[in-house]
Amino acid sequence: MTSLRRRSDSTELVSDPFERICNAMKRVDRAAFVPANLTPYARSEAALPIGYGKTLSKPSTVAFMLSAVEISPGFQVLEVGSGSGYVLAVLAELGARAHGMENIPSLAQSARKRLDRLGYPGVLLKCGDGKSGWPDYAPFDAILVSAAMLGEVPRALLDQLKSGGTLIAPVAVKAGADGIMQRFEIWTALQEADGTRRYLGESAGECEFVLAD
């Protein structure tokens, strides 16, 4: 069972944990995760192309997503659409057990080499379709989706959340006759007294991401 409501004010996520996230992001050199010709722009508040039609999200977007799922040390976390591996490195700095999925082989291979070179060998990264999640390492305390899902969040991802776990994803939905808008959705897995699971979701404002393949 799933239900979706609208979050009234996404800025309420900014708190002490948010400061911890910002500090973790400062420890990860964003310039190491973009093409050499874009390193002068690595400190900017901009999404940067990393090849194959993919981008590295804005720093503020990364911070918002991490704060939405309230990462704590030791959390088992999955990122879908890991791209160059930047968010995985930040997760590692936050003390999470980071797992990433990237469906473009060249991006996955270069991200793996980059993470190893920068001192994150414990991050797990797999090349594959992230819409199916990573059952071998489920359940997860948190799941972050870094590419827009068309229509809805796949049930396979929700089912890989721990009870009380949280997922954040950009979702592309129809707006008007022929338009499409993207919004953040935040979902929490809940366990009922009778053992059944349900998912409570909320909309957390508009966003802009590359569409998932």
Residues with a known catalytic role: 57
Provide the residue type at 155 as one letter: R
Residue 200 φ/ψ, nearest 5 degrees: -105, 125
Residue 159 DSSP symbol: T
**Residue 78 · residue 57 · CB < 8 Å:** no
Residue 200, burial from CB neighbour count under 10 angstroms (0-12, 13-18, 19+): middle
- Entry field: residues in the chain: 213
Alpha-carbon gap, residue 47 to 202, rounded angstroms: 25
